[in-house]
Amino acid sequence: MTLPSTPYQRFAYPVLRSLDAEAAHHHALTALQTLQRNSLALAILRQLYTVRHPRLERTLFGVRFANPVGVAAGFDKNGVAVEALAALGFGHIEVGTVTPRPQRGNERPRLVRLIRDEALINRLGFPNEGMHAIIPHLPPRGTRTFVLGINIGPNKTSVTAGRAIDDYLAALDYCAPVADYFAINISSPNTPGLRSLQQAQSLDDLLTSIFRHTSNERISTPIAVKLGPDLTRDDLCELVRVLMAHPVAAVIATNTTSSRPASLRDPLATESGGLSGRPLRDLATAVIRTISDASAGKLPVIGVGGVFSARDAHEKLEAGATLVQLYTGFVYIGPSTARRINEGLLSMKRIRQRDTKAVARSPLPQDG
Ligand SMILES: Cc1cc2nc3c(=O)[nH]c(=O)nc-3n(C[C@H](O)[C@H](O)[C@H](O)COP(=O)(O)O)c2cc1C
């Protein structure tokens, strides 16, 4: 293992590792949820883990982020611990994937640790309580010290019935009052048929419907699109052209991979599902670089995949990302992950501060 030895890795992780991976995740989230009910505990976490510095601040699609490190979608699917996660030093939290109706997801076991590879394989299939249960419990806008993204996706049955678009539109309507930005998830490998929305014509149709709808409904929340890492370079360039033809605020790159790099050593690597963590890092960085090059830097990117350290984050920022997110690195490194990355970025001589102004979107009628 190349990981730093943190108190979490020495004491808490061995206990969590002895549990089924999904059960361990559930316990960790419940602990964070319990902590967040206590304002003193939150204040202590903030004191211990939050790094504030003007050089860490970023502005993306008109939204101010206190630092470039965020929690990727899937970690807090139901948005139960966002305040505790922010107190651990993350500048933004992406809740979800949230679907319109509650959904159980796939059969367990469905989350596997590849310890030797510092990776995870998941085939969860969007288990979540559904937007009507999740959204009312999120802290309202104006009371938050962090940026809250909401990652939305269709229910499995809607994809099967060819009605995925209706679900995205329903989720946009319902979640808009609380979201600082939306992530349109079209790249999870665990909902059959979802990734066909990554075909250029399908994506164009989806974005046309979405932006017609948001314009009619006067929803001005920035909308990002989350892509997977398994597209060819040509397909990715084609998608960049489609994305740039619409007022898309950013691309989130990338979701988990269906591929299995030859470097994998863990015997569980043959499990089915999306692979995340260390083995995804360079693949995701290459996707960020391609998007950045193909858009001449005009399409903002949020980089995600295999970020464990400040160096990993820095590589993604240098490849063209404005912000980074992580999930698997947080599982392996623990509560100090964001602080370590933010401190590490600050100690680097040069960190690219790629502030990006709000993408010009067709003004809403009431904007004047
Ligand atoms: C257990 C698990 C569940 C995930 N669930 C979601 C999800 O619901 N929606 C989504 O867009 N991405 C989801 N992801 C993908 C992550 O957001 C991220 O894109 C991916 O794991 C790569 O980042 P990482 O290497 O830092 O984990 C999930 C990842 C994991 C490991």
* Domains annotated on the chain, with CATH: 7-350 (3.20.20.70)
Instruction: Place 361 in a pLDDT band, splitting at 50, 70 and 90.
Output: very low
| 158, 188, 292, 295: the active-site residue | 188
Unique residue bearing structure tokens 């102004």: 357
Instruction: Place 355 in a pLDDT band, splitting at 50, 70 and 90.
Output: low
Residues above pLDDT 90, as percent of the chain: 84
Across the range 46-57, mean pLDDT stands at 96
User: Which residue among 327, 328, 332 is best mutated to probe the pocket of ligand 1, counting the most ligand atoms within 8 A of its Cβ?
Assistant: 327
Reply yes or no on whether the pLDDT at 244 is more than 60: yes
Reply yes or no on whether the pLDDT at 360 is more than 70: no
Instruction: Place 358 in a pLDDT band, splitting at 50, 70 and 90.
Output: very low
Instruction: Place 3 in a pLDDT band, splitting at 50, 70 and 90.
Output: low
94 vs 351: CA distance, rounded Å? 23
Asked if 241 and 212 count as a contact pair (C-beta separation under 8 A), the reply is no
What average pLDDT does the chain have?
91
Q: Is the CB of 356 under 6 A from ligand 1?
A: no
Whole-number pLDDT of residue 330? 95
Torsion region of 142: left, alpha or beta (phi above 0 gives left; psi -120 to 50 gives alpha): left
When mean pLDDT is compared across 14-23, 53-62, 103-112, the lowest value belongs to: 14-23
Across the range 118-127, mean pLDDT stands at 94
From the CA of 366, how far away is ligand 1's center (Å)?
37
Q: How far is CA 268 from CA 124, 234, 259, 271, in A?
A: 16, 32, 14, 6
The verdict on whether 188 is a catalytic residue reads yes
Which tens digits make up the pLDDT trace of 181-238? 999 999 989 888 888 887 899 999 999 999 999 999 999 999 999 999 999 999 999 9
User: Which residue among 256, 315, 324, 333 is best mutated to probe the pocket of ligand 1, counting the most ligand atoms within 8 A of its Cβ?
Assistant: 256
DSSP 355: -
- Ligand 1, atom 6, lies closest to the CA of 74
Ligand 1, closest atom to CA 256? 20
User: Which residue among 276, 281, 333 is best mutated to probe the pocket of ligand 1, counting the most ligand atoms within 8 A of its Cβ?
Assistant: 276
Q: Is the CB of 285 under 6 A from ligand 1?
A: no
From the CA of 364, how far away is ligand 1's center (Å)?
33
DSSP 17: H
For 288-345, the DSSP string reads HHHHHHHTTT-S-EEEESS--SHHHHHHHHHHTEEEEEESHHHHHH-TTHHHHHHHHH
Reply yes or no on whether the pLDDT at 78 is more than 90: yes
Ligand 1, closest atom to CA 255? 19
Q: Is the CB of 122 under 6 A from ligand 1?
A: yes
From the CA of 73, how far away is ligand 1's center (Å)?
6
Reply yes or no on whether the pLDDT at 366 is more than 50: no
Reply yes or no on whether the pLDDT at 365 is more than 50: no
Asked if 251 and 227 count as a contact pair (C-beta separation under 8 A), the reply is yes
Q: What end-to-end distance do the CA atoms of the chain give, in Å?
A: 57
Whole-number pLDDT of residue 16? 73
221 vs 181: CA distance, rounded Å? 6
276 vs 307: CA distance, rounded Å? 10
Which tens digits make up the pLDDT trace of 99-108? 999 999 999 9
Reply yes or no on whether the pLDDT at 176 is more than 70: yes
Reply yes or no on whether the pLDDT at 83 is more than 70: yes
